[in-house]
Chain A
């Protein structure tokens, strides 16, 4: 089958579509859907519980505001890294992905600091203050996902320094970027959810 022959085929037809998406990327989107459902379950549970009354209202630690900014910045650099990889711009790629990783780590430490802030204000995970326990669940489980994201990011980081990510080999960094942007979006959702539903 020659290339010319392929050109004659209308690529918009249905049969082509059966094989047009990278299965790995598709799987990642499905995984994202299931993680979303898990958090949707929790946020709905939070609302149901809150509606029952007897609810402790308190302010979120300020540091969560800064950590949100840090995570957004890291997401921006992730985007720049992918763009650099597409143009085979290796120096920019290395710098951008390193910054992404560093900001990701910083985010994780800030979340941890947020926990100790909560503890300082007598807001503990265990005990009878359910409102506080929920915060630990949201931030903690999101943090676990961030750790998994950092592991994925580390693989891309190492590959970028070995120059094995380039314009012809983008799958790895694209998968990594999709997941990282998702974790960023998930945190934004959780942050604003908690901010408006205290």
Chain B
């Protein structure tokens, strides 16, 4: 049955792919319009890193304003030009800065840069596939992302400035071009860019899911998949189901802006004059937006958690604690992600009963999150920990995930949220739990898989310096923000003048401290940039399996070619976490080592698995048929 359908499918594609095999692709096909998942991953990674530096630089500019409101910023004139008026940051531009910082970091860095890089790179390598299910769609996915990046980047340079209504672009502010300069052309470009971005994410997500389901090597059952793959899989499912709803919301906003409809607009007066629009509901936009917006948080976080599982187990030289509980908790987070969106809307005047339902659902997320945190800690417990830079960033992620997570329980409470909503407390919470934590996951992934990405090693010493500066810096930036939030400082404000008890004066020093910490943390990233780009060309040559890891990607040649494995794709016989197994001479047993080869370390139930090995081998022909071009 299986073979028959595959054959039918193959005859169709035969002619086309035959050509592929014999001609080495030219420069453009190999490095630019490439269909190879590894090249696409590198394109995503480098685009993401460039975006991260832009997004970070924007935050430094508005931190200068917040920390040193009286500073003369004329020296920024060569870069910002007319946005500096009499030594001061223009107020409208401040709003543009926070908006673009959020948009860039959430979508372009931590969605595209993180899961775009590692889903593309690791899915085929870790499940044992020659490439993604559709290389062409994968290429399209990157170039849609690139197009969207170009449009968003261009919007930074137009006269009226980029979109300025916050990354959530709530109407009516975003729907009316006359509302603020950023709601004109900048907003149109934001919406255009995000539409392409959504298309890119959907193409990518379809590919990731299909590849995980259809192209696993023989023996790679779902319960033998590394947790990275599980995480990427759930991330793709979240994206596939939630990004279309953002598109729904954005299209209605486009209709309101450009076609004169009133989906989100009602009874608005501008300059004393009533707009013709009645009957719309601005809250409707918030419902649709947060139906994506909340899953988006997990789209950002889950890949980082998956990477952490892999890096921690490898470098603690211990099996991951609670493999199935990890999968279950990720599944729980995925499901819950879709039914908690209204906790972003507690103060929109929603029915308090509805609020308490969403509060209840929100607090339930603490359970799977805590399961994950405990499992990381118990994996580390009594492990033979090897502190590679990747491991340090993974442990850092666990720390940030916990300290940012506990404030989530406070904010998820619909009564406490009335006080804390839209204050710096929220900013502190989400920057720790999803911003910094996901960044740490991204960095852990780069340090850990750099040898596989580029065939060279990154410098460890620079890695340690980078880690400690970043780790200390992130806490110095975001921990004090909790106090500022409790003191009542609202987010997205250009300056503070009339807070209760003159808090703006009392907390001026703390705000300055945060800004200095932010600048130092940002500067420390230059160490990473240098290490990254230098090591691509001049790093120490990598060995076959530098971290003594179990997963399949380390069985490929050091410099992986097109098709990933030179001979047969290895079969998989065991789960990926056989580290320090009792009885085994080596402290790791890769996934492609059959149980029949390790009688000294097998558990009784694993000896029974030996009988199935023949069966797995028998599938070689079936598997080869898939690639039989």
A6–B618 touching, CB < 8 Å: yes
Q: Chain A residues near B242 (CB, 8 Å)?
A: 37
**A149-198 at interface with B (beta carbon < 8 Å):** 168-172
Q: Is the interface of A mostly helix, strand, loop or mixed?
A: helix
Residue of B nearest to A130 (CB): B279
* B308 CB to nearest A CB, Å: 26
Q: Is A76 an interface residue (CB 8 A)?
A: no
* A53 CB to nearest B CB, Å: 10
Q: Chain B residues near A13 (CB, 8 Å)?
A: 612, 615
**Known A9-B615, A15-B219; contact A171-B244, beta-carbon cutoff 8 A:** no
Q: Is A90 an interface residue (CB 8 A)?
A: no
**Known A20-B2, A130-B262; contact A38-B621, beta-carbon cutoff 8 A:** no
B6–A19 touching, CB < 8 Å: yes
Residue of B nearest to A134 (CB): B263
B287–A48 touching, CB < 8 Å: yes
**A15-59 at interface with B (beta carbon < 8 Å):** 15-16, 18-24, 26-27, 30-31, 33-35, 37-42, 44-45, 48-49, 52, 54
CA distance A21 to B216 in the complex (A): 12
* B622 CB to nearest A CB, Å: 6
B-side interface residues, number (CB < 8 Å): 66
Contact of A128 among B243, B244, B279, B287 (CB under 8 A): B279
Q: Is A137 an interface residue (CB 8 A)?
A: yes
CA distance A5 to B622 in the complex (A): 11
Contact with A along B186-216 (1 / 0, CB 8 A): 0000000000000000100111011101111
Q: Chain A residues near B8 (CB, 8 Å)?
A: 168-171
Q: Chain A residues near B252 (CB, 8 Å)?
A: 42, 45, 137
**B218-259 at interface with A (beta carbon < 8 Å):** 218-222, 240-245, 247-249, 251-252, 255, 259
A45–B618 touching, CB < 8 Å: no
Q: Chain B residues near A125 (CB, 8 Å)?
A: 255, 259-261
Q: Is B276 an interface residue (CB 8 A)?
A: yes
Q: Is B626 an interface residue (CB 8 A)?
A: yes
* A114 CB to nearest B CB, Å: 18
Q: Is A91 an interface residue (CB 8 A)?
A: no
**Known A34-B243, A49-B284; contact A19-B618, beta-carbon cutoff 8 A:** no
Q: Is B502 an interface residue (CB 8 A)?
A: no
16 A-B contacts (beta carbon < 8 Å): A6-B621, A6-B622, A11-B2, A19-B214, A19-B623, A23-B210, A26-B213, A27-B210, A35-B244, A37-B242, A54-B279, A125-B261, A128-B278, A130-B280, A137-B255, A171-B12
Q: Which residues on A are within 8 Å of B, measured CB to CB?
A: 1, 5-6, 8-11, 13-16, 18-24, 26-27, 30-31, 33-35, 37-42, 44-45, 48-49, 52, 54, 125-130, 133, 137, 141, 168-172
Shortest Cβ-Cβ A-B pairs, 3 listed = A126-B260, A1-B621, A41-B248
Known: A34-B243, A137-B251, A169-B11. 9 other contacts (CB 8 A): A15-B616, A18-B216, A26-B213, A30-B205, A45-B284, A49-B284, A127-B262, A128-B277, A170-B8
